[in-house]
Amino acid sequence: MKTTTRVAVIGGGVVGCSVLYHLTKLGWSDVMLIERSELTSGSTWHAAGGFHTLNGDTNMAALQGYTIRLYKELEEITGMSCGLHHVGGVTLADNRDRFDMLVAERAKHRFMGLETEIIGPEEIAKIAPVTNIDGIIGGLYDPLDGHLDPSGTTHAYAKAARMGGATIETHCMVRETNQRPDGTWDVVTDKGTIHAEHVVNAGGLWAREVGAMAGLYFPLHPMEHQYVVTDEVPEIVEIMAAGGEHPHVMDPAGESYLRQEGRGLCIGFYEQPCKPWAVDGTPWTFGHELLPDDFDKIEDSIEFAYKRFPALARAGVKSVIHGPFTFAPDGNPLVGPVPGVRNYWSACGVMAGFSQGGGVGLMLAQWMIEGECERDTFAMDVARFGDWISPGYTRPKVIENYQKRFSVSYPNEELPAARPNRTTPMYDIFTGMGAVWGQQFGLEVANYFAQGDEPSYETPSFRRSDAFGATAREVAGVRNGVGINEVHNFGKYTVTGAGARDWLNRIMAGRIPQPGRVSLTPMLSPKGRLIGDFTVSCLAEGDFRLTASYGSQAFHYRWFLQNLDGDVRVENISDKVNGFQIAGPNAAKVLAACTRSDISDMRFLDVRRMTVGMTDCVVQRVSYTGDLGYEIYCDPMAQRQLWQVLWDAGQPHGMVPFGMRAMMSLRLDKFFGSWLSEFSPDYTAAETGLDRFISFKKPDDFIGRKAAEAERDAGPARRLCAFAVDADDADVHGYEPIWLDGSVQGFCTSGGYSHHAGQSVAMGFLPVDSIAEGLEVEIEILGQMRPARLITEPLFDADGARMRG
């Protein structure tokens, strides 16, 4: 056995073998896979083997498309068969909301190059004749859907990796992973110790146990899953006799997926009375076993399936496959460098291994070898969960995700499991004021404050929700008086030390402010892509505060630590500092009434320490609402006292609390972008307009400078624009296609309704040579082509007089 390797991949399922292959494909041949039993042990060997592209996250859908197209390449490289059956698949809709979701997904696919289509009940009956179409409105057909041989595909990955120079060691049990001071790893096995520069946890069912060897917790949990294979079905025999094969059918109403298996059918269920497996740990002795049949938990699912697919009721059961596989709390994989640990990588939680395994392997290999991925991977980045997450949180969220596997996914939906979990000192006060809560990064965040007969629960919808009126009221309260909300959902960091300014000038592309001032700056990857959108405040030389997206704090902090050098200290204080934002024309009057400090000369983008009421605070004049506003930061222990001071002072000036629904409407008035919507690693500063905050004059060789300069000189091919939309009862949410001259030439990043202007607004990308004030386009919203007009003048405070005055 080899005793040294550049990369040690732990786990020989389809994901581990994909990672190994992609590392060799991208040029690293000194790589090794370690498997305690045989390849495919665990979940891979008993998988149903289906694959599809449908995913609510467009980047995940694109990676699934890559995975599916990869299989033919694997067959060509290795000469092995993956057992491919590209039979196509249809997802059924039996109500308007399900159909809306499928129409919205089809619209996204237009600019992704995926050839899906919406079909009616009659066409469904023709292509999937075992389906009872009673009550079916329509469906989404995807020609890429199909199934394969799980074992053959995994071994094809393995052979392709070996052909690229990789080594695979089976029947080799990893017992310890110990990091050396230089960041490399000793992987201790029952066959000896392997010294590796990098370790990849692709442990599948054992990812928790493998992580624990390094002192790490991976938020995933195995779930029991059952599918049934029938005896011969006459309808299938008839299709085969004509040279055909029945397509896949996904029936969300029945929580099932169905496909042909030989001369019969295979149907699996995501049943509501589901069961987590191996709650306290996966036994090392488990591997090629199945769980006992459990028809009781799928009894209702089977009864529904007999109505949807009557042929099932007439067929005998040939076999039952009941085995575990793993989920993360949101159902997406856990991929990437583990925050806080050098050279330790995650490739686990991939519940749809034959839809996602290829994309996961490609992204991880790019990350390791090139330093970044070709697309935004945040939806599967292991850093999307913080160190606050625990098994007690993970398990109920995994159960919830399993139960909602085929449910309608609404853009405004707030899932209830494991909530409330993390709250601020304001939680009970705001609840008493009618707060309707959402969550971000496990933290409760007020979406709006219900008053009178306004709904205390926002009904999920693809259209304007029943919170529309409450949001409008809060927007008016801000624009006409003064509003207040918490700043708890900002990620916050301190950067201190003699080298703080030099380090910030290297890590940030923009100008670093002088003492007492604030600046806005993008943070770039080496390839010039956006990995952060920051506010930088200088309290004193060598004492800086940074704020950015709360939900991306582990992602950003990981980047800081990876690039830390010199006499610099960086601390994540996201939950150690809290406070409030006040915004609106009366904001200055409220603040002045609460402090003895003179704020009359406090300019836009000034920052000062001052006492507000009894509380020592950091106050900066800036607001995401685009209005006159202040962010007031304090110790959370003093937050309730600060609240009372601000609230009492605000009453004569019409102060109202406002939530995130109003905030996202207010920012549209000024065309302010939002992180992971307008600003993400999929885009560059020049494409999004953030290049106006890049300081090309500063002498520092900031990360991404060469790429940003090259794009500045050549100009971007596309740019972010704003549009006034002639919408009906539904607004843009994101990724709707933009039609120009009869074809899709762009896509939306986000949108909504500007309650201040009484106008539906969208933001999105168009080719630069098409952009012109007043350009008429169409935006496809829920299958309807809605007229839209490109606008460049903000809908509120166009000259910035109120915000800056």
Q: Measuring CA to CA, which residue among 443, 355, 362, 364 is closest to residue 405?
A: 355
672 or 65, higher pLDDT: 672
pLDDT of residue 782: 92
Is there a contact between 258 and 265 (Cβ–Cβ < 8 Å)? Answer: yes
Coil, helix or strand at residue 50:
strand
Coil, helix or strand at residue 541:
coil
Contacts of 535 (CB under 8 A, 6+ apart): 518, 519, 520, 546, 547, 548, 620, 622
Rounded to the nearest angstrom, the gap between the alpha carbon of residue 452 and the centroid of all alpha carbons in its chain is 35
Asked if pLDDT for residue 482 goes beyond 80, the answer is yes
Q: Compute the distance between CA of residue 227 and CA of residue 189 in angstroms, rounded to an integer.
A: 35
Is there a contact between 750 and 763 (Cβ–Cβ < 8 Å)? Answer: yes
Is there a contact between 89 and 145 (Cβ–Cβ < 8 Å)? Answer: yes
pLDDT of residue 113: 77
pLDDT of residue 31: 98
Task: Report pLDDT digits (tens) over 258-285.
Answer: 999 999 999 999 999 999 999 999 999 9
- Position 606 confidence tier, pLDDT thresholds 50, 70, 90: very high
Is there a contact between 633 and 575 (Cβ–Cβ < 8 Å)? Answer: no
Asked if pLDDT for residue 112 goes beyond 90, the answer is no
pLDDT of residue 590: 98
Which residue do the tokens 């060789």 mark?
A: 701
Helix H or strand E segment including 608: strand 607-612
Asked if pLDDT for residue 56 goes beyond 80, the answer is no
pLDDT of residue 246: 96
pLDDT of residue 570: 98
Residues 486-496 as b/e (b if ≥16 CB within 10 A, e otherwise) read: bbbbbbbbbbb
Structure tokens at 472: 């409008």
Task: Report pLDDT digits (tens) over 495-542.
Answer: 999 999 999 999 999 999 999 999 999 999 999 999 999 999 999 999
Q: Compute the distance between CA of residue 627 and CA of residue 797 in angstroms, rounded to an integer.
A: 8
pLDDT of residue 356: 92
Three-state SS annotation for 85-127? ECCCEEEEECCHHHHHHHHHHHHHHHHHCCCCEEECHHHHHHH
Contacts of 225 (CB under 8 A, 6+ apart): 268, 270, 322, 323, 324, 325
Helix 14-25 vs helix 353-370: angle between axes, to the nearest 10 degrees?
A: 40
Q: Measuring CA to CA, which residue among 124, 105, 110 is closest to residue 251?
A: 124
Residue type, 428: D
Task: Report pLDDT digits (tens) over 762-782.
Answer: 999 999 999 999 999 999 999
Structure tokens at 520: 């806005």
pLDDT of residue 111: 80
Q: Is 113 exposed, middle or buried (0-12, 13-18, 19+ CB in 10 A)?
A: exposed
Is there a contact between 5 and 28 (Cβ–Cβ < 8 Å)? Answer: no
Q: Measuring CA to CA, which residue among 651, 662, 679, 654 is closest to residue 626?
A: 662
Coil, helix or strand at residue 365:
helix
pLDDT of residue 42: 85
What mean pLDDT do residues 659-675 have? 98
Q: Measuring CA to CA, which residue among 92, 396, 94, 402 is closest to residue 270?
A: 402
**What percentage of the chain reaches a pLDDT higher than 90?**
92
- Position 59 confidence tier, pLDDT thresholds 50, 70, 90: confident
Q: Compute the distance between CA of residue 456 and CA of residue 473 in angstroms, rounded to an integer.
A: 15
Enter the DSSP assignment of 402.
H
Domains of the chain: 4-327 (3.30.9.10), 490-574+684-713 (3.30.70.1400)
pLDDT of residue 694: 98
- Position 108 confidence tier, pLDDT thresholds 50, 70, 90: confident
Structure tokens at 165: 């120079």
Is there a contact between 688 and 768 (Cβ–Cβ < 8 Å)? Answer: no
Task: Report pLDDT digits (tens) over 278-323.
Answer: 999 999 999 888 999 998 999 999 999 999 999 999 999 999 999 9
Q: Measuring CA to CA, which residue among 304, 311, 200 is closest to residue 263?
A: 311
Task: Report pLDDT digits (tens) over 189-200.
Answer: 999 999 999 999
- Position 64 confidence tier, pLDDT thresholds 50, 70, 90: confident
- Position 45 confidence tier, pLDDT thresholds 50, 70, 90: confident
**What percentage of the chain reaches a pLDDT higher than 70?**
100
What mean pLDDT do residues 792-800 have? 96
Q: How far apart are the first and last CA of the chain?
A: 71
What mean pLDDT do residues 112-128 have? 92
Structure tokens at 224: 């029991």
Structure tokens at 607: 């920052």
Contacts of 659 (CB under 8 A, 6+ apart): 435, 436, 445, 446, 447, 448, 449, 474, 485
- Position 328 confidence tier, pLDDT thresholds 50, 70, 90: very high
Asked if pLDDT for residue 54 goes beyond 80, the answer is no
Task: Report pLDDT digits (tens) over 382-435.
Answer: 999 999 999 999 999 999 999 999 888 899 999 999 999 999 999 999 999 999
Going 16 to 17 to 21 to 24, the CA torsion angle's sign is positive
Is there a contact between 19 and 361 (Cβ–Cβ < 8 Å)? Answer: yes
pLDDT of residue 58: 82
Q: Compute the distance between CA of residue 348 and CA of residue 214 in angstroms, rounded to an integer.
A: 15
User: What is the average pLDDT score of the chain?
Assistant: 95
Which residue do the tokens 């916050």 mark?
A: 492
What mean pLDDT do residues 344-356 have? 93
pLDDT of residue 764: 98
What is the per-residue DSSP string for 721-784? EEEEE--SS----S--EEEETTEEEEEEEEEEEETTTTEEEEEEEEEGGG--TT-EEEEEETTE
